[in-house]
Structure 1
Amino acid sequence: MFLKAQYQPFFKILTLTAAVMQSMSIYAEEESIYELPVIEVQAIHTDNNILTTPASLYQIDASPQQNNSNVNLSEVLQGVPGLQINNRENYAQDLQISMRGFGARSTFGVRGIRLYVDGVPATMPDGQGQSSNIDLNSLSNIEVLSGPFSSLYGNSSGGTILAQSKEGEGKDSIQVGYNAGSHQKQQANIVLQGGSEHAGEPAYVLSSSYFDTNGYREHSGADKAMTNAKLTWKLDDGSKINWVLNRVNINADDAQGLTRAQWQANPKQQVPFLKQFNVRKEIEQTQTGLTWTKPINDKNELYVMGYFGNRAVTQYQSIPAATQQANTHHAGGVIDFDRNYYGLDLRWKGTDLLPNTVFVAGVALDQMDEDRKGYENFNATGQYGVKGNLRRNEDNTLWNIDPYLQASWQFLPAWRIDTGVRYSNVHYKSQDHYLSNGDDSDGTDYQKVLPSVALSWEILPTLNTYASYGKGFETPTFTEMAYRPDGEAGFNFALKPASSDTYELGLKSQNDFGLFTAAIFQTETKNDIVPADASNGRSTFRNAEQTLRQGAELSWQQKIWRDLNARASYSYIDATFDADIPATNTKAQVHKGTAIPGIAKNQAFARLAWQPEQGFQAGVDVRYMDKIYVDDLNSDSAPSYSVVGASIGYLWKKADWTVNSYARVDNLFDRNYVGSVIVNDGNGRFFEPADGRNLNAGLSVTKAF
């Protein structure tokens, strides 16, 4: 039952909060002397108002005052309720991002959450995503959608993150920036932009940057080159075209994890045994996409999105030669793949075709073609960290065609119902070309109907509440199926897709006292995909019969006085296995009620910032993270921690010149804590230490012409 006994007290608090917020809203309406701004969003296609959207939806605007290095998405998204984003100080494995527990199993990249940049997927069709191609130097805003309505985005949408880059506007301008900090971190960037005065002429933004670092830990250096371009046409007929191009090149060493004893002795170290392997990753990705919005008349609108990308990865792992030689089915210690991916999204939107209704109908088509090879990570002389003999060679394909429908009906002045349904289907096929150990060609299909529904009530123009339900669907990625737990060759097509049912109650208010949101939720998942084992940089996965996630989220933001802004949030999630997981030859039984590893039960965040349009800037923030269990048996955990960050800066403007300077310190009190954990690591090296006290400072100069 959704509102179980432990939720009844919180529901009473939520009801009391609604009454208090209602009285505050009435008072604010009487005293207010200005109209509150409408916060527009794009995540739910039938609504563009954050207050009336019946879902947990948060928008983070990019600050015009730079106060961080603009390298990692974690710099922007801290404090979003329900979002756990861990910087593992490891550029070979990307950030560790989970939302209400979805994605916490990922040892690298982003899974269980869908990412979009300017409407173009940054998540592969199989559900594997990465945040490394989001250019923070040209970022406009980010929307974070969680809960039942995230299933509108189909497979692997336990949550959705939509980043939007800036569009060119005003005079042509050039911005040149440089920042540097601890561990010889440095980034140089340049941004060119300009608006358009005539229909048919594009506005443009061109951003390019180069970042490198020696790394906080031994063998954790990295360099990253990125270019992001965006052209925008606004035509006479009211249509709008965006064309985007993104390229990123990353070379990163991988320090891997530490045991608890190693972390406590020296968090900066790499395990001595691992140094011989020269573990590292090389990534090249190029992606382009086009979106076209065309109003047919005042009631009908068409939307078309098409994209194409290529991603090539070579990863050197720390697998000993003896392990590879002992098993003729072993795929080697070097992963090498080249992947093309492409797709379309065609959508129609109709407004007031029936009284007080909005309809959306569309279809999404995606395909991925991958050439995957595996090599030994040693040569004939026994030297590690090189590409040796071929051990795996296959062509993998995946495709889906997902039709979807949405409808929104304002059936009473203060009451509205929103519904949606999507048929998600994913088709996998692998063609084996390395036949000396047998033919492991195989394939499988997954499909699910994903309904969602929400009932919302506008208590006041400044106070809304809603109740919603949605069914989610998550297939294993090619990476998660790439290796079988028994060590045999071929894909682990025995992995089943996860299916979830999510219920949510929410409350939102926007008035002179600020923007306030509250939500409680429950998610029941069958066949949840969980790590089976992780060893030497390689992970295998299995299904848990049933899991349960229950939680609550609160957020508040407000301009307190003049240019003094405040933000605060709190997240609670109780994530457990809701059925026993039987023991295997190498794994003990996991009992019902055991906590799912990788998920913090409590998170809190608060920020206070002085941010005038120009002049002196300052800010301070504090973040709390609860302990995180490292494995299914809850045998150990990364301890809870609180860290503080602070920044100062000065923004100077005169005529066509703008100079922005800042300095920032993170982990102000030099707390020794674990940034993330490697769930179920077979060697007990679960812990990836976070950086100690670290400094960063930067300067940018902008000239308009």
Structure 2
Amino acid sequence: MNLPPARRHLSLACALLLPGLAFAQSPPATRSLPVVEVEAARVTGIDPFALPSSSDTVWIDDDRSGPQAQLAEALGGIPGVLARDRQNLAQDTQLSIRGFGARSTFGVRGVRVLVDGVPATMPDGQGQLSHASLLGAERIEVLRGPFSALYGNSSGGVLQVHTAQGREGDPWRLRLNAGADNTLSVGAHLRGVQGPVDYNVAANHFRTDGWRDHSAARRESLNARLGTAVGEDRLELLVNYLDAPNAQDPLGLTRAQVAADPRQATAVAHQYNTRKSVRQSQAGLVYSGQRAAHRFRLTGYAGQREVTQFLAIPPGPQANPLHAGGVIGLDGDFGGLDARWGWNGELAGRALDVTAGVNADRQRQHRTGHENFVGDQLGVRGRLRRDQRDTVSNVDQFVQAWWQWSPRWSLLAGARHSSVRFRSEDHYIVGRNPDDSGSRRYQATTPVAGVSFEVTPQWRLHAAVGRGFETPTFNELGYRADGQAGLALGLSAARSRNVEIGSKWQAQDGRRLEVSLFRADTDDELAVASNTNGRSTYRNIGRTRRQGAELSWHQPLAQDLDLQVAWTWLQAEVRSAYLACAGSGCAVPDTPVAAGSRLPGVPRQQAFARLEWQPRDWLWAAEVTGSSDTVVNDLATERAPGYAVMNVEAARRWTLRGGDLRVFARVDNLLGQGYIGSVIVNDGNGRYYEPGPDRRGSLGVQWSWR
């Protein structure tokens, strides 16, 4: 791979920042963003600036360019957040926060995801982002650090997507975006009020042939939020639907394959026609209200999800009577209830806000496995090899209090008790394949506390500490590391201790600077034990540490000219030595991993800079995104080189008699850099790399009317 050194690329990012220094002394006035309570912190009526936590809000407005097909498009400017577009819609966006979730090879692990308050993370900690829509979203909130633990299992960070409430005079929008590789995104967004009902409905059709071979995909989605007043209270209906049939999976590439042709798919991807189909529908009801100083919120939701995935596992390994086949089928339902009460008052003459609640979630899943061949025909559904009913449920209670105990000091503290139960019933008991049924319960209490000090009205200092925990998912419990039948019920939950100190400064003219230092020490970290015959097993490896620094800076430079910068330094390493597998087919770990070794999937540095100019009806912007190298396996024998890419965009708006017409264009990777966009940690075949695309352009048009 002929990739330039990371330092050369990161210098490009630094060059973009230099203009900010010249204007830092006398910035002009700038328009301010709306103020909103950060629901991720569960504190009502308090400016997030005053809370002892690291949180960011990304506003999603109609000035955005690009297809708006994945949440990763909106998350680049948040420090501590790594959201990688894998150029593979058969797998979800690769999301990690402060290193939590970086080991996940599919879906989202270690990070809690919610859409309008409804969990997109199942009780076992496995989540996905594919049904969340940027088209109808108002904002995305990201909470990092110790207070994430108040969301329970697998809350190394919290990401919440919020749909805007429809209001009188809101515009309707039609949007079309077309780009390279026959990529097309068509959306309709209707928002407003009709009689007693306010509404926000977004429908989107997206399709692409994919930048890489064998990566074509299509998605249809519908997201709706309908609300009405019920006396003094409010009732809302939330609806989500996603259909993504036969998304082709090009699989990862080896280093040599990337050097030969980064757009190719692995040969077995064509041979077995690797692909994935997902269909999900869900609905939720939210009833909320307030009586004097008391407030309440009741949420109930239910949904169904069907997944079929064809893997590239040869027939040979499937001859083992304990093998579960090369076609995965998941068909199940999920649902839950959340009840929350809050109160605003005083304690010792000082402001006090208390929130308490209980929630219960349950997922029932019919998991099947079939052979991926019939005779000599590959990539088709064959004989049944697995048939089990899996259930995972949790019942949690939490309490939180914010107290302004002096004019300049405030305290935020809380605790959550979580109980997560796994149960599996095996219905495939054939010959040497025994009954694999079993169950396991995990419990934890996670306290957290933080203080905030007002140095001046524009400057705050804070410190926070807390504990967290992360259970194995059903996917990690699915196979035992010793090769025997049954679930890996001996796995323990990982438990972490989190510390953060930070500084926040903001000025009335729009300047903002936030800096935080953090550390998370984890015991019983979950990691891959072996990768054999297309199956991964897991185990607890001991102690790890994630520590680092984050910086977020917003600087108005001149009239209608803004600079945004985000930077992350993250050291993620093993604290106790363990054994790992050195190659493909290894069933028993045999190679030492020394204390101090880097955790795979976590780059040491990330940088983002965006320069935006909006003179009247025009918008011009340039972005630089950079990352240092990323280790791809436990032994650190290979790594993805660092990179920096530049993106540019332009847009023009016309106000016409019937509405607004906006035309926009965007070029990603303007300089055509070759780089690795994402990695598959500990891939058993050494196919760790998912290359990022070369120069890609897109053009869009949007029509808005009231």
Specify the code of the residue in structure 2 equivalent to 1:563. Answer: D
Instruction: Give the drift of 1:642.
Output: 0.3
Aligned equivalent of 2:238: 244
Aligned equivalent of 1:12: none
Instruction: Give the drift of 1:271.
Output: 2.1
Q: 1: CA distance between counterparts of 2:33 and 2:264?
A: 52
Equivalent residue in structure 1 for 2:437, among 441, 444, 455:
441
Matched, 1:346 2:346: no
Matched, 1:566 2:563: yes
SS of the aligned residue for 2:105 comes to coil
Equivalent residue in structure 1 for 2:261, among 259, 262, 266:
266
Equivalent residue in structure 2 for 1:64, among 62, 79, 83:
62
Aligned equivalent of 1:699: 701
Q: 2: CA distance between counterparts of 1:408 and 1:567?
A: 31
Aligned equivalent of 2:208: 213
Q: 2: CA distance between counterparts of 1:225 and 1:159?
A: 28
Runs of 4+ in 1 over 6 A off after TM superposition: 31-37
8 Å CA contact 2:29–2:510 kept in 1: the answer is no
SS of the aligned residue for 1:123 comes to coil
SS of the aligned residue for 2:317 comes to helix
SS of the aligned residue for 2:181 comes to helix
CA deviation string 1:348-393 (max 9, x = no partner): 10111534211111101111111111101111x2211111000000
Please, which moves more after superposition, 65-74 or 327-336? 65-74
Please, which moves more after superposition, 60-69 or 382-391? 60-69
Aligned equivalent of 1:141: 139
The equivalences for 1:58-457 within 5 A come to: 58-171=56-169, 173-195=171-193, 201-237=196-232, 239-251=233-245, 252-297=247-292, 299-325=293-319, 327-352=320-345, 354=347, 355=349, 356-379=351-374, 381-436=375-430, 437-457=433-453
Instruction: Give the drift of 1:682.
Output: 1.4
Q: 1: CA distance between counterparts of 2:448 and 2:402?
A: 12
Specify the code of the residue in structure 2 equivalent to 1:667. Answer: N
8 Å CA contact 2:680–2:690 kept in 1: the answer is yes
Across the aligned residues of Structure 1 and Structure 2, the Cα RMSD in angstroms comes to 2.0
Instruction: Give the drift of 1:195.
Output: 2.2
8 Å CA contact 2:601–2:630 kept in 1: the answer is yes
Q: 1: CA distance between counterparts of 2:30 and 2:611?
A: 25
Cα distance 1:389–1:348, how it changes in 2: closer, same or farther (>3 A)? same
Q: 1: CA distance between counterparts of 2:655 and 2:538?
A: 54
Cα distance 1:692–1:536, how it changes in 2: closer, same or farther (>3 A)? farther
8 Å CA contact 1:176–1:702 kept in 2: the answer is yes
Aligned equivalent of 1:20: none
8 Å CA contact 2:471–2:492 kept in 1: the answer is yes
Aligned equivalent of 1:578: 575
Q: 1: CA distance between counterparts of 2:266 and 2:400?
A: 52
Instruction: Give the drift of 1:173.
Output: 4.9
Equivalent residue in structure 1 for 2:617, among 615, 618, 624:
615
CA deviation string 1:541-581 (max 9, x = no partner): 22120001110000011333332222101100100000011
Q: 1: CA distance between counterparts of 2:142 and 2:89?
A: 23
Instruction: Give the drift of 1:536.
Output: 6.9
Cα distance 1:541–1:33, how it changes in 2: closer, same or farther (>3 A)? closer
Q: 1: CA distance between counterparts of 2:147 and 2:386?
A: 40
Q: 2: CA distance between counterparts of 1:34 and 1:588?
A: 57
Instruction: Give the drift of 1:193.
Output: 2.0
Which residues of structure 1 form unaligned runs of 5+? 1-23
Cα distance 1:253–1:182, how it changes in 2: closer, same or farther (>3 A)? same
SS of the aligned residue for 2:411 comes to strand
Instruction: Give the drift of 1:493.
Output: 1.4
Aligned equivalent of 2:488: 492
CA deviation string 1:483-540 (max 9, x = no partner): 2233433222122111000000011111136121110011100011122344676432
Matched, 1:643 2:645: yes
Instruction: Give the drift of 1:38.
Output: 4.5
Q: 1: CA distance between counterparts of 2:510 and 2:342?
A: 35
Q: 2: CA distance between counterparts of 1:36 and 1:195?
A: 24
Q: 2: CA distance between counterparts of 1:319 and 1:52?
A: 53
Cα distance 1:536–1:676, how it changes in 2: closer, same or farther (>3 A)? farther
Instruction: Give the drift of 1:291.
Output: 1.7
Matched, 1:598 2:601: yes
Matched, 1:459 2:455: yes
Cα distance 1:656–1:533, how it changes in 2: closer, same or farther (>3 A)? farther
Q: 2: CA distance between counterparts of 1:330 and 1:226?
A: 35
Instruction: Give the drift of 1:91.
Output: 0.4
Please, which moves more after superposition, 508-517 or 330-339? 508-517
8 Å CA contact 1:521–1:552 kept in 2: the answer is yes
Aligned equivalent of 2:591: 588
Specify the code of the residue in structure 1 equivalent to 2:37. Answer: E
8 Å CA contact 1:330–1:488 kept in 2: the answer is no
Question: What is the percentage of aligned positions where both structures have the same residue?
Answer: 39
Matched, 1:506 2:529: no
8 Å CA contact 2:118–2:301 kept in 1: the answer is yes
Cα distance 1:288–1:33, how it changes in 2: closer, same or farther (>3 A)? closer
8 Å CA contact 1:68–1:696 kept in 2: the answer is yes
Instruction: Give the drift of 1:459.
Output: 1.1
Cα distance 1:288–1:331, how it changes in 2: closer, same or farther (>3 A)? same
Matched, 1:475 2:478: no
Cα distance 1:350–1:513, how it changes in 2: closer, same or farther (>3 A)? closer
Cα distance 1:41–1:583, how it changes in 2: closer, same or farther (>3 A)? closer
Specify the code of the residue in structure 2 equivalent to 1:599. Answer: V
Q: 2: CA distance between counterparts of 1:261 and 1:34?
A: 50
Q: 1: CA distance between counterparts of 2:429 and 2:485?
A: 11
State the TM-score, normalizing by the size of structure 2: 0.92
SS of the aligned residue for 2:189 comes to strand
Please, which moves more after superposition, 648-657 or 77-86? 648-657
Instruction: Give the drift of 1:227.
Output: 0.8
8 Å CA contact 1:317–1:536 kept in 2: the answer is no
Q: 1: CA distance between counterparts of 2:198 and 2:534?
A: 44
Q: 1: CA distance between counterparts of 2:429 and 2:354?
A: 52
Instruction: Give the drift of 1:679.
Output: 0.8
